[in-house]
Amino acid sequence: MTKEEIKDLYSMKDILERYRLPQPNRAGFICCPFHKEKTASMKIYKKDFNCFGCGANGDIFTFVMLMDGISFKEAYAALGGDYENSFSARLKIYQAQKKREMKRKTEEKLKRKRELNYLLMDVYRKWLDRLEPLSDAWADTYNALQYQEYLWELLNDPEECYEAIK
């Protein structure tokens, strides 16, 4: 999630509940958790806060940072943020698209090779019927048919088909 999505998801009242702090009074004030006081001096707004006693102010991320003593990056992650820059996110999406495209192209290439292989086996079988048995042409055709049948097995074996494509 982005910073803005997290801000839209959580209000300051949600963050107060998270730390088990009392809800603001009718005027929107609570006792500031960052300094000791007897009267409420921290004004809670919908998306941010301001303490008139110690001067602490900010949004939900600042509040979490001050309460836990952590950096913005840690507060962002604590509120459910995915701390990843946009370039690397776009790069991952691009790489996934390219991988899918390459897989689709490889499958199409394999399909074309299977179709060609089937066509060649059909042609060689027809020629075997027409040629004189045990002649040189018949022997060459028979050997070519055997090779195409071998390729047919390779092309239909999922583990070895990628080796046959190369």
**1: number of Cβ within 10 Å:** 13
Per-chain mean pLDDT for the chain: 87
Question: Does 116 lie in the same domain as 73?
Answer: no
Question: Does 108 lie in the same domain as 69?
Answer: no
Boundary residue ending a domain (26, 47, 78): 78
Question: Does 55 lie in the same domain as 109?
Answer: no
Note whether residue 61 is domain-resident: yes
What tokens were used for 103? 């897989």
In this predicted structure, the answer to whether residue 164 has a pLDDT above a threshold of 60 is no
Percent of the chain scored above 90 by pLDDT?
Answer: 44
Residue 67's domain spans which residues? 3-78
In this predicted structure, the answer to whether residue 5 has a pLDDT above a threshold of 90 is no
For the stretch 79-120, pLDDT in tens is 887 666 667 777 887 898 999 999 999 989 989 999 999 999
- Give the relative orientation of helices 86-130 and 136-155 as an angle to the nearest 10 degrees: 150
CA distances from 102 to 3, 66, 153 (A): 34, 49, 23
Question: Does 159 lie in the same domain as 106?
Answer: yes
Beta bridge partners of 61: none
So what's the pLDDT on residue 39? Answer: 87
So what's the pLDDT on residue 148? Answer: 92
Question: Does 119 lie in the same domain as 67?
Answer: no
Question: Does 71 lie in the same domain as 120?
Answer: no
Question: Does 108 lie in the same domain as 161?
Answer: yes
Backbone angles phi, psi at 29, to 5 degrees: -110, 145
Q: What is the mean pLDDT of residues 52-64?
A: 91
Question: In sequence order, what DSSP letters do the residues of 48-71 get, joined into one string?
Answer: EEEETTT--EEEHHHHHHHHHT--
For the stretch 114-149, pLDDT in tens is 999 999 999 999 999 999 988 999 999 999 999 999
pLDDT band at 78 (very low <50, low <70, confident <90, very high): confident
Q: What is the domain count for the chain?
A: 2
Question: How many whole angstroms separate alpha carbon 158 and alpha carbon 61?
Answer: 52
Residue 113 amino acid letter: K
Task: Give pTM, 2 decimals.
Answer: 0.50
So what's the pLDDT on residue 158? Answer: 66
CA distances from 155 to 5, 110, 119, 143 (A): 49, 7, 14, 18
So what's the pLDDT on residue 6? Answer: 85
- Indicate which CATH number applies to the domain containing 32: 3.90.580.10
Residues in the chain: 166
